[in-house]
Structure 1
Amino acid sequence: MTDDGVLIVGAGPTGLTLAIELARRGAGVRIVDAAPAPHRESRGKGLQSRTLEVLEDVGVTERVLTAGTTRLPFRKYFDGAHVNDTDPFAETRPTPDAPYERGVLIGQWQVEKLLRERLAEFGVGVEPGTEVTGFEQDEDGVTAVLADGERIRAGYLVGCDGGRSRVRKAMGVRFEGTTEETQSMVVGDVEAEGISRDVWHQWFASDGGGVMLCPMPGTNSFQFQAGPELDASGEPLPPSLESFQRIFERYARVPGVTLTDPTWLSVWRVNVRMVDRMRVGRAFLAGDAAHIHPIAGGLGMNTGIQDAYNLGWKLALATAGQAGPGLLDTYEEERLPVAAWTLGISTDLYARVREAVREPGTGVEAAAPPPMGTGYRWSSLATLATPATPATTGDPAVLRPGDRAPDAPCLDASGNPIRLFQVYADPRFTLLGFGTEVAGAVGKLGAEHDDLLQAFTVDGGDLRDHEGHARRAYGVTDPALVLVRPDNHIALLTRDPAEVANYLSRITTFPPKE
């Protein structure tokens, strides 16, 4: 790999997503992982709706939906008695602008397997058993040092190597927050004959304890979660199949059920930490290497994947020499506030769950988080070009630069159904020109900026908004131009073609932070 390529350290969901984003844009990428082989642990087991949109663009959502499940009711028991079955998403439905109305339950190892398979389609594979112990950087690139003494040269380095990240330590950034040693949980994957697999079982008791068994799709395993057993001095006992069995018998009170075949036994502690910086020169952090937080809401894997989605297109432009020196600064500018929000909301959700499990009528559904990935209105990319004439009418808060770009069903030039998300799957910026009045400008912009832009007229030849969903989603009533970023966020809404040209030219000359 040349000095123009990217070295990714860590092949979890974050690193794999980033590798795919770079590979599909033609950037040189190498991804290494210290583990000798992929794990088979359920770990983070949920993908949110916005993450499904991201993974559709990456090319794996259809496979994820096949491997996982979108419908698993919560069955709660209190002091051994069945209380209720609930589904907090029972009334939700997909809409034209948001096709995924609920998340997917799927084991983390399965997500990683699907991402590795997708990455392999670009001719890139993970290099296992390759541990990066440190790195050096200069104006032209980064030199990573491996445990065996080998040195790898790359243009950029991204640490996706988890909460104990060696890349983060080598970068010298602060990882501020707390670890609550007194708040811990044992977790693992086990089998359990005689327990129904069509609900997520949650046994709680009036003493505040409990145990949960969540059936993992595509396997015979359940993910086991509970508070740890304590020894005579009140210290937590290490996780074991025997202790899992004792905890289960104490709280589930279901006779004749034996837990077997443990494939993962672990301890989870409440960690609330995040970095003060996500970039130092040519080195970056993403996922758990940059932020770790309580388990409630299942935000960890989702946040990491969305980190990678934000960084991927920017790094790809940088390696191709198409990005101004400041474009990479917008990764930290956009994602660091999201990390802070995630820490705050997941901490609050964890507290709510701890309180809710003491009540007969509620359980982990109290941890249903608000939607993630709604946008970056505060970003300098959202104010890179200020249009002289707004493109939309009505309430300006409906859609603004930095917001997530909505989906909408359309027809292509041949009259075949196509969704805007399918159009956006191209790794470039996308320009939508609404109305025949802007068709000429759209064609000209597409030809002049072909390396950065794909361009379509809506109701002017390329796409037909046959049911009006696209116009409603984007708040368009008059001729308008909508520029969408490669990560499917609004870059610009305008009526002036010169504003689009100016925005794209400024991407290639984007100034660095002062």
Structure 2
Amino acid sequence: MAELAHTPVLIAGGGVTGLSAALFLSWFGVPSSLVERHAEPQAQPKARSVNARTMELYRAIGLEEVIRSVRSPIAEHTVIAHAETLAGPELKRLPDRVLGDDPRLSPCAPALIDQNQLEPLLREHAAATAADVRFHTEVVGVVPRASDVLVTLLDRATGRRWQVCADHLVVADGAHSSIRRMLGIGSGGAGVLARKLNVFFDADLREHLGGRKIVALTVHNPAVHGFFTPVDGVKRWRFAISLEPDQRAADFTEGRCVKLLRAAIGVEDLPVVVDQVWDSVWEVAGRVTDRMRVGRVYVAGDAAHTLPPVGSFGIASGVQDVFNLAWKIDLHHRGLAGDGLLASYESERLPVARETTALTTERYRLLNGAPGDPRTGAEKQSRLVFGYNYRSGAFRRDDAVADGVEDPHHPAIAPGTRAAYAPLADGRSTVDLLGGWALLTGQADAAWQRAAAGADIPVTAHRLAEPEAYRVPEGGAVLVRPDGFVAWRATAAEADGLGEVLDQVLFRRPGSAPPVVT
């Protein structure tokens, strides 16, 4: 491959977040280049579902049905429980996965697909777009400048280094992001909650499961503590051993792992074949980066927020980060927005990252024995799927803005909140409008049609089938951004003010101040 010299957007990281960024940018018409230090996509299942809000974004770019055509081997599994051993009685049955499956809230159901199924699919589709996708290529140097970023790349196969100038750099290189360290960005949050070592093994556990279809089973007895997850839904399993602070991966030989597995299963002579013991320890952690933007560098996904593995918010948060970013880069790239729109990425997404990490950490602790009802944690976390909102950013704030996570069944439909799913008069829905600017009205109002036609960016006017449910002021309208968030709620008298609002939302006024992170 020829060496890159310049690219509008360089994406560092070829996981779900990075690949999604490439797909979203291509859909908006922005060329990008993606580099990933590893030679191949993710090989282990890791995350095993994609929530409904995230599927709305994949639906927008035409990938919903493609993703649904591939199903996790444990798609029909529902049991999350605690026990002393797998073969013993359950001590506690916990709420199922938090996915936001409610047809009243979205036309999109969650997708039950494993991460190692999703990543190759995204890579295939990203490579078919205008994106330049290069694996086995690593970012080894980053210098943010006033209007671009100077990046040093390393070809890990040949050892060759070269520099590329990127107008924007999206950092999606994972929880242990080397680029974040290069930039000197710290992090906060609960920190390390547990240390785990993965052991993959084959065993026939049907008799001991008693017909249960396990998503995850935590076991705790005097000999061992950890959790089981099925890999293929038949005979291959992963057991994540909980480690003491002084234990290392090298301490766990194959023979020791077999003994621990039998103790965890609760059958002393069970045939067990260990086929892999990871050579490194992984952490369950709750961390949030202090910054999500340094100049034209944007931190996203696990590089920005490390979440405990409960509720399927790891993938969701990363994908939603980069959709928020993609439409903003697109407008800035085309000269239609000021620098404040780029700054709004951090002011909008960082508070959401903090809230998501805090609630996910709380739920993890409840699931693992902390005082309290795990159902409360599940309910709080489930509201995040559609109920998170922005306090400061690319919208005209009014007095109705929600604080905290709203109940998506009773949406405020206020600036900074998700534009709730609702039918349109033409038979489509508000979710079908993702990617463009939309004016939602309660009636076929000529004033709003003229306002949309006169805007200097494409804005389309649409009539709601049930305007009373959407709280549109009589004769008024709701302006919705390309990511499906409310930018403005207007009265009938304000139709002539659309241009002024767009100038404000897109930070095009001279001296527009960047939004404040709250």
TMscore range, shorter length: 0.7 to 0.9
Return the match for 1:307 from 321, 328, 339.
321
Return the match for 2:151 from 138, 141, 144.
144
How far 1:471 sits from its partner (Å)? Answer: 4.2
Q: Is the contact made by 1:72 and 1:199 (CA closer than 8 Å) also made in structure 2? A: yes
1:60 counterpart = 2:101: no
Q: Is the contact made by 1:385 and 1:502 (CA closer than 8 Å) also made in structure 2? A: no
In structure 1, stretches of 5+ residues that fail to align are: 388-395, 459-464
1:355 counterpart = 2:369: yes
Q: Is the contact made by 1:210 and 1:227 (CA closer than 8 Å) also made in structure 2? A: yes
Task: Output the CA distance in 1 between the equivalents of 2:185 and 2:441.
Answer: 44
Return the match for 1:428 from 436, 455, 464.
436
Return the match for 1:494 from 486, 490, 494.
490
1:72 counterpart = 2:72: no
Q: Is the contact made by 2:366 and 2:374 (CA closer than 8 Å) also made in structure 1? A: no
1:442 counterpart = 2:448: yes
Q: Is the contact made by 2:200 and 2:274 (CA closer than 8 Å) also made in structure 1? A: no
Q: 1:174 is matched with which residue?
A: 186
How far 1:243 sits from its partner (Å)? Answer: 4.7
Task: Output the CA distance in 2 between the equivalents of 1:109 and 1:236.
Answer: 23
Alpha carbons of 1:65 and 1:297: their partners in 2 closer, same or farther (altered >3 Å)? Answer: same
Task: Output the CA distance in 2 between the equivalents of 1:90 and 1:402.
Answer: 23
Q: Secondary structure at the match of 2:142?
A: strand
TM-score between both structures, scaled by the size of structure 1? 0.81
Q: Is the contact made by 1:327 and 1:512 (CA closer than 8 Å) also made in structure 2? A: no
Instruction: State the AA in 2 paired with 1:513.
Output: P
Q: 1:187 is matched with which residue?
A: 198
**Residues 10-25 of structure 1 aligned to structure 2 (within 5 Å):** 10-25=13-28
Q: Is the contact made by 2:201 and 2:272 (CA closer than 8 Å) also made in structure 1? A: no
Task: Output the CA distance in 1 between the equivalents of 2:102 and 2:309.
Answer: 27
Task: Output the CA distance in 2 between the equivalents of 1:263 and 1:207.
Answer: 22
**Residues 100-499 of structure 1 aligned to structure 2 (within 5 Å):** 100=108, 103-147=110-154, 148-176=160-188, 179-180=191-192, 183-187=194-198, 189-195=200-206, 198-200=213-215, 202-207=217-222, 209-216=224-231, 221-228=236-243, 242-254=255-267, 256-262=270-276, 267-355=281-369, 369-372=381-384, 373-383=386-396, 398-410=412-424, 412=426, 417-422=427-432, 424-425=433-434, 427-436=435-444, 438=445, 440-449=446-455, 451-458=457-464, 465=465, 468=466, 471-472=468-469, 474-476=470-472, 478-495=474-491, 496-499=494-497
Task: Output the CA distance in 1 between the equivalents of 2:118 and 2:94.
Answer: 26
Alpha carbons of 1:307 and 1:377: their partners in 2 closer, same or farther (altered >3 Å)? Answer: closer
Q: Is the contact made by 1:27 and 1:320 (CA closer than 8 Å) also made in structure 2? A: no
Cα deviation code 1:341-387 (max 9, x no counterpart): 1232222222212216x99xx98996673332524341132336899
How far 1:11 sits from its partner (Å)? Answer: 1.1
Alpha carbons of 1:244 and 1:513: their partners in 2 closer, same or farther (altered >3 Å)? Answer: same
Q: Secondary structure at the match of 1:24?
A: helix
How far 1:406 sits from its partner (Å)? Answer: 1.4
Alpha carbons of 1:221 and 1:309: their partners in 2 closer, same or farther (altered >3 Å)? Answer: farther
How far 1:262 sits from its partner (Å)? Answer: 3.9
Task: Output the CA distance in 2 between the equivalents of 1:97 and 1:429.
Answer: 21
1:509 counterpart = 2:516: no
Task: Output the CA distance in 2 between the equivalents of 1:178 and 1:281.
Answer: 27
Task: Output the CA distance in 1 between the equivalents of 2:413 and 2:340.
Answer: 25
Moved more, 79-88 or 59-68: 79-88
Cα deviation code 1:115-172 (max 9, x no counterpart): 2233234232420011110122333422210123211122111111112222212322
Moved more, 12-21 or 397-406: 397-406
Q: CA RMSD in A?
A: 3.7
Task: Output the CA distance in 1 between the equivalents of 2:29 and 2:116.
Answer: 27
Q: Secondary structure at the match of 1:154?
A: strand
How far 1:279 sits from its partner (Å)? Answer: 1.2
Percentage identity across paired residues of the two chains: 26
Q: Is the contact made by 1:330 and 1:380 (CA closer than 8 Å) also made in structure 2? A: yes
Cα deviation code 1:232-256 (max 9, x no counterpart): x866655665554333210212464
Task: Output the CA distance in 2 between the equivalents of 1:354 and 1:89.
Answer: 15
Task: Output the CA distance in 2 between the equivalents of 1:379 and 1:178.
Answer: 25
Alpha carbons of 1:259 and 1:382: their partners in 2 closer, same or farther (altered >3 Å)? Answer: farther
Q: 1:393 is matched with which residue?
A: none
Q: Secondary structure at the match of 1:183?
A: strand
Instruction: State the AA in 1 paired with 2:162.
Output: E
Q: Is the contact made by 2:80 and 2:96 (CA closer than 8 Å) also made in structure 1? A: no
Task: Output the CA distance in 1 between the equivalents of 2:367 and 2:389.
Answer: 29
TM-score between both structures, scaled by the size of structure 2? 0.81
Task: Output the CA distance in 2 between the equivalents of 1:453 and 1:350.
Answer: 43
Q: 1:96 is matched with which residue?
A: 104
Q: Is the contact made by 2:340 and 2:507 (CA closer than 8 Å) also made in structure 1? A: no
Q: 1:37 is matched with which residue?
A: 40
Alpha carbons of 1:216 and 1:367: their partners in 2 closer, same or farther (altered >3 Å)? Answer: farther
Cα deviation code 1:265-318 (max 9, x no counterpart): 752224333222211111111112122243344432222112112111111111
Alpha carbons of 1:100 and 1:23: their partners in 2 closer, same or farther (altered >3 Å)? Answer: closer
Alpha carbons of 1:378 and 1:206: their partners in 2 closer, same or farther (altered >3 Å)? Answer: same
Moved more, 107-116 or 188-197: 188-197
Q: Is the contact made by 2:67 and 2:118 (CA closer than 8 Å) also made in structure 1? A: yes
Q: Is the contact made by 1:134 and 1:166 (CA closer than 8 Å) also made in structure 2? A: no
Task: Output the CA distance in 2 between the equivalents of 1:158 and 1:224.
Answer: 34
